[in-house]
């Protein structure tokens, strides 16, 4: 699993449906890459949902030496999508590994489209997260339609799938096993490789899965 993560390109876009776990994955990925001695920057591009965003983890990032760039009004009572010029600079910095946590669905991907040309020039990986148990992506075809909307809004091509199917604290290993066929169908339709399947750290039983720590 580690070799897959460390071989990601320097600019990593994370997107998917609302509630698919983008922010939780972005935080855990940032921590994992930092442990691999990467110089990590997290960009909070969620200008849609002010309630679940990477800016909420600023204290953890500071403790671990991870830089955070967020909208100017993040974590205030204003939620104006004001993005700083620092984003362009870090995307072009070849020494930085940049994780972009993008707002859900095509509405959130519109902000990402602003950096379309830089990402294409510098190189990127585009991770599409899915949760089989979310009400608008219960079938692979629903997940594909959403992915197409995000592609169109961002004008970027996806490179990986991430299976973050879960039922919150009620998730069991059996619930993960029941996503195998869904994942296979999604891979077949999109022709995209699966980067990883996420699992809560307390459920991992020496499986080759990407652990999601929920102790923040």
193 Cα distance to chain centroid:
15
Distances (CA, A) of 83 to 57, 65, 74, 103, 201: 18, 22, 10, 13, 33
Going along the chain from its start, the domains and CATH numbers come out as 2-212 (3.40.50.300)
- pLDDT at residue number 50: 53
What is the pLDDT averaged over residues 172-198? 95
Structure-token pair, residue 42: 């997290």
115-153 pLDDT tens trace: 999 999 999 999 999 999 998 899 999 999 999 999 999
Q: What is the pTM of this model?
A: 0.89
Structure-token pair, residue 143: 């997940």
- How many CA atoms lie within 13 Å of 191's alpha carbon, on the beta-carbon side? 1
* Tokens 């679940």 sit on residue: 52
70-105 pLDDT tens trace: 865 444 444 444 556 689 999 999 999 999 999 877
The alpha carbon dihedral of 57, 58, 61, 63 has a sign of: negative
Q: Could you tell me the pLDDT band of residue 215, with boundaries at 50, 70 and 90?
A: very low
Q: Could you tell me the pLDDT band of residue 109, with boundaries at 50, 70 and 90?
A: confident
Q: Which residues, including other chains, have CB under 8 Å from residue 104's CB and lie 6 or more apart? A: 15, 16, 17, 18, 19, 20, 22, 46, 48, 49
Question: How far is 186 from 131, CA to CA, in rounded Å?
Answer: 12
85 Cα distance to chain centroid:
21
Question: How far is 31 from 174, CA to CA, in rounded Å?
Answer: 27
Mean pLDDT of all residues belonging to the chain:
86
């Amino acid at each position: 699993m580690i070799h897959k993560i460390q071989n990601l390109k320097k600019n990593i876009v994370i997107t998917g449906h609302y509630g698919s776990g983008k922010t939780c994955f972005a935080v855990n990925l940032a921590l994992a890459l930092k442990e691999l001695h990467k110089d990590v920057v997290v960009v909070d591009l969620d200008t849609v949902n002010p309630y679940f965003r990477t800016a909420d983890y600023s204290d953890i990032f500071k403790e671990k030496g991870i830089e955070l760039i967020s909208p100017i009004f993040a974590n205030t009572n204003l939620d104006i999508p004001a993005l700083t010029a620092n984003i362009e600079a870090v995307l072009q910095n070849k020494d930085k590994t940049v994780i972009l946590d993008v707002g859900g669905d095509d509405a959130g991907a519109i902000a990402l489209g602003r950096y379309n040309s830089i990402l294409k020039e510098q190189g990127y990986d585009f991770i599409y997260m899915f949760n089989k148990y979310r009400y608008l992506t219960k079938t692979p075809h629903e997940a594909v339609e959403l992915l197409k909307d995000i592609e169109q809004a961002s004008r970027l091509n996806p490179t990986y799938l991430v299976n973050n199917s879960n039922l919150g604290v009620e998730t069991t290993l059996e619930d993960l096993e029941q996503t195998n066929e869904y994942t296979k169908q999604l891979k077949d339709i999109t022709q995209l490789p699966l980067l990883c399947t996420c699992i809560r750290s307390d459920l991992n039983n020496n499986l080759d899965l990407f652990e999601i720590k929920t102790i923040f």
